[in-house]
Amino acid sequence: MTATQPSVFELFKAGRRFNYVVGVCDEEHGQKCPLFPGVTQRLSWSFPDPATFTGSHEEKLARVIEVRESLRARIESWLATLPGTGSTPRTTTRN
C-alpha cells in the first residue's frame, strides 16, 4: 500500500514552513502548481510532464531520462547560487 502525500494545507497546519518551493509543473500543458503559504521564495520551472509522453516504451523512457537530467542540472545550478553552498552542490540522487 502506498502512503498518501500530505496536502499543502496539512503541512501548513502542522507548522511546516519552507524557505523555498520549486514548482516543476508543465506550463505548456496548462498545469498549475499549488500555492504554499508562508514560503519565502517560489521558483517556477516548467518541465514536460512524463505522463504526456507518447511513443514506444523506449521512446518514452528516453524522454523521461532527458527530463530527469535537465531537472538535475537545473537543481545543481540553482544550489550553486545559494549562500554557503560552496562550488560543489550537494544533491541526493535516486535512480
pLDDT tens-digit map of 4-17 = 888 877 888 888 88
Could you write out the DSSP letters of every residue in the chain?
A: -PPPPPPHHHHHHTT---SEEEE---GGGT--PPP-TT-SEEEE-----GGG--S-HHHHHHHHHHHHHHHHHHHHHHHHHSTT--SS-------
pLDDT of res. 57? 97
Higher pLDDT, 85 or 18: 18
Q: Which of 68, 25, 71 is nearest to 34 (CA)?
A: 25
Which three cell numbers mark 75? Answer: 537543481
pLDDT of res. 86? 57
Higher pLDDT, 76 or 28: 76
Average pLDDT value for residue range 73-78 = 94
Q: How does the average pLDDT of the chain come out, rounded? A: 80
pLDDT at residue 94 is higher than 70: no
pLDDT of res. 1? 57
pLDDT tens-digit map of 31-69 = 666 677 776 788 888 888 898 899 999 999 999 999 999
